[in-house]
Amino acid sequence: MGLEVDIIFKIAGVGIVVAFLHTVLDQVGKKEYAQWVTLFGFIYILFQVASIVDDLFQKIKSVFLYQ
């Protein structure tokens, strides 16, 4: 149970940092950099979620294949 909560907090933390950086860069006038920061944050979270989904499928596979 602790692992799932840890991953949720990591995703939320990355989202907060990306939102903060996006806002700061947007206010300074660096909109292109703000968009890149948002894109990289999204890609990082996407890989995190992909690993979570992979773990889920491995657990489901082990349950139904009795390995």
Q: State the 10-residue block means of pLDDT for the chain, 67 residues long.
A: 77 95 94 95 94 88 79
Residue type, 11: I
Residue 33 has what pLDDT? Answer: 94
Q: How many CA atoms lie within 13 A of 38 on its CB side?
A: 13
pTM score of the predicted model: 0.77
> Of 10, 20, 17, 19, which is closest to residue 45 (Cα–Cα)?
10
Domain that holds residue 20: 2-65
Unique residue bearing structure tokens 């996006």:
22
Residue 44 has what pLDDT? Answer: 95
Overall number of domains in the chain = 1
Residues recorded for the chain: 67
Q: At 13, phi and psi to the nearest 5?
A: -65, -45
